[in-house]
Every structure is written in C-alpha cells, then in structure tokens.
A and B are shown apart, each in its own frame.
Chain A
Amino acid sequence: MTQTAIAPTYSIVSKRVQLACAGCVPVGMVTFIAGFFIAGYIPPPPAYDTPQQIAEFYRHDTNTVRFGLLLALIGFAVWGPLIAVITRQMLRIKPRHNVLAYVQLGSGVAAWQFLLVPVLLLTTAAFRPERSPEITQALHDLGWIFLFMPFTPFVVQSLSIALAALLDFGPRPVFARWVGYLNLLEFVLFLPVGLLTFFKTGPFAYHGILVFWVPLAVFCVWLLVMSWASYRAVLDEYAQLPASGQEANGA
C-alpha cells in the first residue's frame, strides 16, 4: 500500500504508535505482577488446600485481594497492543508469510481472554467471601485453572512467531533468529501446565514449580523479549524508509 505525498507527521505518528504498543509492555508486566503479589497469589494457595483454607484466604484482607486483581486487570491491557505490533511486523517479513501473522493475531487475541477472564473469576471469588467455602474454592479453582492451564493459544502463537522468524530470508530480518528459537523453546517450557489437571501436590499441581513458577517466569521473559524485538523491528522498519515518507506503511 503506497501513498505518495503523505504529510511526514503521519509516518511519525504511526511509528510512535507502534513503538508505544511495544514499549508499554514492561509497564503492564510490572503492574500485573505487582497486582498478583499484592493480592497474595505469589506464592499461590496450594491445590491441596481445604475449602476452609481457601475461604480464609479470601476472607483475610479481602480488599487487598480485590485491589491486586484490579491491578492485574489493568496490567494485562498491554497484551493487545503487543499482539498488534507483532502482527504488523510479521506482515513485513519477506518472503511473505501473512498467514502466520494472522495465526499469531488470532491466537494472541484468544490468549488475551485467558488472561482477563481468570482475573474476573478470581474477583468473583473475592466478591462475597462470607459464602460457603466450597463455592469459594470452586471459583478459585476455576480462575486458577483458567489462568494456568490454557497453553494452547500461547503455544500456537509462539510457534507461528518462531516459524515466521526462522523463515525470514529477507536482507534485514525483522526478528533476530534467536527470538524465533526462544519462541520454540517456550513450547517445551509450557508443556507441563497441561498436567495440572491430574495433580494436587508436587511440581505438576497448579501451585507447583513446573506449572506456576516456571511458566510465570517464561511468560515474563517472553513478554520482555517480544517487546524488545518488536520495538527494534519498528525502528528498523522506519530506518529503511526514505526521509520523505513516500512509502507510508501506516499502521
């Protein structure tokens, strides 16, 4: 899509919008981590807790839990812009693998649901803590499983980014090759979370090291790496444009 005689400010604004989409991610990440920490979910209530213990978790300092979850809801807002800027940059890859960009977009948007909805479910658990403990635990389980088990969209998204990055044979690859490999690695590192359905104790339970701690760390690393990689890709894109803004690839 080429447009001639575009006012230069249009290019600059779209560049800044893209950069903002990528750059806001670390802020959002810190926000949702802080939110979960404040709510008391780091470290998490174990899967083997009795309903009474879970109910007690929500009855104790209820407003702190609610506030932390609200922060998390705000923090996850940055996921959408990140998906968008990744998609936009993937569309730049030569030879064109547009379908991979769309897979990434679709699975990224789906993944957003599995970040936002769980926070709302946990908020519901915290909404009437005086209710029957079994119900509170059911809501807590629901929220937690919603947050940690759905590896599918995240893995599909990572695989599409990996494929696109590794099949980038252009003169100036959009994403560094190690970014592609890192996305491949994410697939392995997220695998164990599917096992949380079988266990209430041990490393594969929903509070376990391989289901909670490792995937959380991997998720944060991925966010930071993709945020950096997209930011760099945007800068690269605009560095290649002639100064007059003849080819305004507006977002």
Chain B
Amino acid sequence: MARNFLTSAYRLRLSAQEPVSQPRPHVPGEAGVWVMIFGDMIIFGLFFAIFTYDRASSREVFARSQQTLSTAIGLVNTVLLLASSLFVVVGVRTVRSGKAGCAPRFFLLALLCGLGFAVDKVLEYSDKLGAGITPMTNKFYMYYYIFTGIHALHLVIGMCVLVFLWRITRKTSRPPKITLVEGCASYWHLVDLLWIVLFPLLYLI
C-alpha cells in the first residue's frame, strides 16, 4: 500500500514544472526544536538505562513477565510507526517541492498509522489489566506501563501535531513555512525513534 502512494509521489514530480532541488545543508525545523527533541531523547535514554539496570538484577522476573507480552502487537506497532514516519517524510518533501496541495494525504495516512498504534495500545493495556496485571504487579510491569504510557502520551501529542500539519498544508493559498513543517515532522519522528528502542527493550531482549 505504501508503494501506491510512493508512486503518486513520483507522478507529482513528473508534473512539476521545475526540478526539485536537493535541500541545502540545514537543520530540519529550527535549532530550538532540537533542544526539546534532544532533551526528550536524553530523558528516555535515562529511562532505558534504569530499566536495563533493574533488569540485570531481576533477570527471571523480567524474562517471565516479558513472555506475557504479545510480540505480535509490538511488531504491528513498530511497522505502523515506521510507515507513519515514511509518510511524514514524503509529505515534507512534497511540501518542499512546492506541491503542498498533495501533502495533506500523507500526513493523514501517518495520522491513521498513529491511530492504529493507539488502538493497539488500548487493546494491549485492557487485556493486561483484565488479567489483573497492573503497574504494581512487579518491577517489569511498572516499567512497561509507565514507559509505554509516557511514550503513548508523546504519540497522542504527535497525532495532534499531525492534525496541525494536515490542516496547514490543506491551505494551498498560503503554503506553510518549511521550517514549521520540518519541526513538526521531526517531533513525529521522535515518537518513532523512541519506540524503536522501547520495542526490543520491553518485548524482545
């Protein structure tokens, strides 16, 4: 399905009057947004370290609890976020090429992927909670709920950002500033990046 939309992106370029130039070396978005993104990455890095440290001293509990997590859902979620990042970068490039009018569909697709992730999370949580597993059950589940919860909060905020991107790119009369689009896109990629580490950490290793 991703292929079809990439093909439409190709067709967009075909119809462009002038060639798309490669972006000059620049900071995606603006420098300030990277203060926020790196700050977030650092705090999550701390989360990862704390989890791994506790895991090393409670191997069996962690391994046993991990078995109850559904790798299938985790995998689906990973693919959803990877696809959403792909849609976002295609959308950004579409805006940059001057064909901002076609960009909204990509942000909408990314939003749908995010929504899928959110639904999955709700299903996962309710399944666990239904089985009586809460953040107080043991250390593994504490980290599982809290870290995926904080990540989910980032996801929800990201979805609002995607809605914002969808709306501002719909106005073809006034194309949005590329730095604003890139900054918002970078925040969404952050959500993907954090999950890329969370998934193996909680579900696989």
Contacts and interface: CB of A to CB of B under 8 A. Distances in A.
Interface of A: 176-182, 184-185, 188-189, 191-192, 195, 198-199, 202-204, 209-210, 214
A177 B36 contact: no
Contacts of A191: 150, 153
A2 to B, nearest CB: 33
A189 B43 contact: yes
Interface string B30-50: 111101100110010011001
Contact of B39 (A176, A185, A209, A210): A185
A199 to B, nearest CB: 8
Contacts of A192: 146, 150
B142 interface: yes
Contacts of B36: 181-182, 184-185
For the complex of A and B, the 3 pairs showing the least CB-CB separation, nearest first, are: A178-B32, A177-B32, A181-B36
B170 interface: no
Contacts of A199: 142
Contact of B46 (A195, A204, A214): A214
B139 interface: yes
Interface residues of B, number: 21
Contacts of A198: 135-136
A134 to B, nearest CB: 24
A208 to B, nearest CB: 9
A178 B35 contact: yes
B64 to A, nearest CB: 19
Contacts of A184: 36
B40 A185 contact: yes
A199 B135 CA distance: 10
A189 B153 contact: no
Nearest to A191: B150
Contacts of A214: 43, 46
Given A191-B153, A202-B142, A185 B50 contact: no
Contacts of B47: 210
A209 B50 contact: yes
Given A203-B50, A209-B50, A178 B31 contact: yes
A199 B143 CA distance: 12
Contact of B146 (A176, A177, A178, A204): A204
A180 B32 CA distance: 8
B27 to A, nearest CB: 12
Contact of A181 (B32, B135, B136): B32
Contacts of B46: 209-210, 214
Nearest to A203: B50
A195 B146 contact: yes
Contacts of B40: 185, 188
Contacts of B142: 199, 202, 204
A180 B36 CA distance: 9
